[in-house]
């Protein structure tokens, strides 16, 4: 795809995310291509996060998670793992509700959404420097728009034909991820305190 094709796809994603998703799925991208695209978004995301941290440093806390993501490598690993885990859970949740989506479909759509989020984050970073009050409103708008696009992408990937079922899939996936993360935190918390 050319630069103009990507710009047109980005505009279509904002106007009609379901159609954009079907266009992406029609490309039937090979898995190695998707892994390379994921790696690129992860590297760019990590660089953008580090730049943001330099411009707007977060005060240190006793909680270990901020300390971990302050490292570019840990942040990149967490970001990549998050996208892959989200794709897996959304695939599982959609199929549980009768969807037909594949992991590769969901991964392709999430990588594209991640690329768009990076562009939005870069714009928000500039706004935070130039007009901080407007940046807060823009951040909320980006969050709501991302949610709408995500639900539309889920609907298209699973062939539901219903944004309601796409939203239900997202809710089920969030609940599943919360359960998994709670179990992991409990396990690592038990290990760190010596509880077995």
Q: How wide is the angle at C-alpha 55 spanned by C-alphas 134 and 68, nearest 5°?
A: 110
At residue 73, the pLDDT reads 84
DSSP string, 21-76: HHHHHHT---HHHHHHHHHHHHHHHHHHHHHHHHHSPPPP-S-HHHHHHTSHHHHH
Q: Round to whole Å and give the CA distance between 180 and 176.
A: 6
Are the C-beta atoms of residues 102 and 90 closer than 8 Å to each other? no
Q: How many helices (H) and strands (E) does the chain have?
A: 8, 0
Are the C-beta atoms of residues 118 and 79 closer than 8 Å to each other? no
The domain spans of the chain are 3-192
**Token pair in block for residue 103:** 């992991």
At residue 196, the pLDDT reads 46
At residue 69, the pLDDT reads 59
Q: Round to whole Å and give the CA distance between 145 and 140.
A: 9
At residue 62, the pLDDT reads 52
pLDDT tens string, the chain, 196 residues long: the values are 678 889 999 999 999 999 999 999 999 999 899 999 999 999 999 999 888 888 877 665 555 555 555 677 888 888 999 999 999 999 999 999 999 999 999 999 999 999 999 999 999 999 998 998 888 899 999 999 999 999 999 999 999 998 999 999 999 999 988 887 788 777 776 555 554 4
Whole-model pTM: value is 0.86
């Amino acid at each position: 795809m050319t630069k103009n094709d990507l710009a047109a796809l980005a505009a279509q994603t904002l106007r009609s995310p379901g159609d954009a998703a079907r266009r992406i799925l029609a490309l039937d991208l090979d898995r190695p291509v998707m892994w390379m695209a994921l790696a690129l978004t992860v590297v760019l995301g990590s660089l953008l996060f580090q730049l943001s941290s330099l411009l707007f440093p977060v005060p240190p806390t006793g909680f270990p998670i901020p300390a971990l993501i302050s490292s570019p490598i840990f942040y990149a690993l967490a970001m990549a793992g998050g996208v892959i885990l989200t794709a897996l859970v959304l695939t599982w949740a959609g199929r549980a509700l009768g969807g037909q989506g594949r992991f590769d479909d969901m991964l392709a759509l999430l990588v594209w959404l991640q690329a768009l989020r990076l562009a939005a984050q870069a714009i928000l970073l500039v706004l935070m420097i130039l007009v901080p009050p407007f940046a807060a409103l823009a951040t909320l708008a980006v969050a709501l728009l991302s949610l709408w696009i995500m639900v539309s992408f889920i609907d298209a990937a699973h062939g539901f034909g219903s944004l309601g079922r796409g939203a239900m899939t997202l809710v089920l996936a969030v609940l599943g991820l919360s359960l998994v993360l709670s179990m992991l935190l409990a396990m690592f918390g038990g290990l760190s305190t010596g509880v077995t």
